[in-house]
Chain A
Amino acid sequence: QDQLVQSGGEVKKPGASVKVSCKSSGHTFTGYGFNWVRQAPGQGLEWMGWISAHSGDTTYEQRLQGRVTMTADTSTNTVYMELRSLRSDDTAVYYCTRDISDYWGQGTLVIVSS
């Protein structure tokens, strides 16, 4: 059964970094691309970027460029999203999704607070 399982919630201070993992199972990992989408409390969905599990090619939302890095580990079928220089408005639930977002992880709550 296809599944995406994300790492647990995090509380970070402003200026810190966070790295969220998303482990894929039930399908050929390198056959897909993965997106990261976030949702601030009470707000809508924001696409953050995409990574090819096959090539490692990435494309990021321009506003996050320079603060975000997405990587893929084919040995563990896991994609990662690292966000640096965290601010309070980065507080959100972070989701990984597969390709056209037919599968979603369960979400990871990241709270940025001093």
Chain B
Amino acid sequence: DIQMTQSPSSLSASMGDRLTLTCRASQDISNSLAWFQQKPGKAPKLLLFAASRLESGVPSRFSGGGSGSDYTLTISGLQPEDFATYYCQQYSTTPYTFGQGTKVEIK
């Protein structure tokens, strides 16, 4: 199975901050990576797919990058509604494994 490792596990940030979350796969996943945002008690929401393609309706302050086995999610100008947990998922090879999540909290 492909292992997905997210870092950091949690962080504290302030409104307006620029954040970069990272996701590392245990092998090359050829950009078959999605990022999700989850708020308490809610289903996750797709933010980006194919590593860098923004899902329709998602604000442009979210961006994704990377290649091979290393990927990033950047939030440029943190907004109050962005405080949540973020997960990456590889869909290169089944099982389509998730990272353990990064919780973004208010400083």
Which residues of A line the B interface, CB within 8 A?
Answer: 35, 37, 44-47, 50, 59, 61-62, 95, 100-102, 104-107
Which residues of B line the A interface, CB within 8 A?
Answer: 1, 34, 36, 38, 43-46, 49, 55, 87, 89, 91, 94-101
A44 touches B87 (CB 8 A): yes
Find chain B residues with CB under 8 A from A50 CB. Answer: 94, 96
Find chain B residues with CB under 8 A from A37 CB. Answer: 98
B55 touches A102 (CB 8 A): yes
Q: Which residue of A lies closest to B53 (CB)?
A: A100
A37 vs B43: C-alpha distance when bound (angstroms): 10
Find chain A residues with CB under 8 A from B43 CB. Answer: 95, 104-107
Q: Which residue of A lies closest to B36 (CB)?
A: A101
Find chain B residues with CB under 8 A from A44 CB. Answer: 87, 98-101
Say how far B4's CB is from chain A's closest CB, in angstroms: 10
A102 vs B38: C-alpha distance when bound (angstroms): 13
Query: Given that A44-B87, A45-B87, A47-B89 are contacting pairs, would A101 and B44 also be in contact in the complex, using a CB cutoff of 8 Å?
Result: yes
Query: Given that A45-B98, A47-B98 are contacting pairs, would A100 and B91 also be in contact in the complex, using a CB cutoff of 8 Å?
Result: yes
Say how far B9's CB is from chain A's closest CB, in angstroms: 10
Q: Which residue of B lies closest to A107 (CB)?
A: B43
Find chain A residues with CB under 8 A from B89 CB. Answer: 45, 47, 101
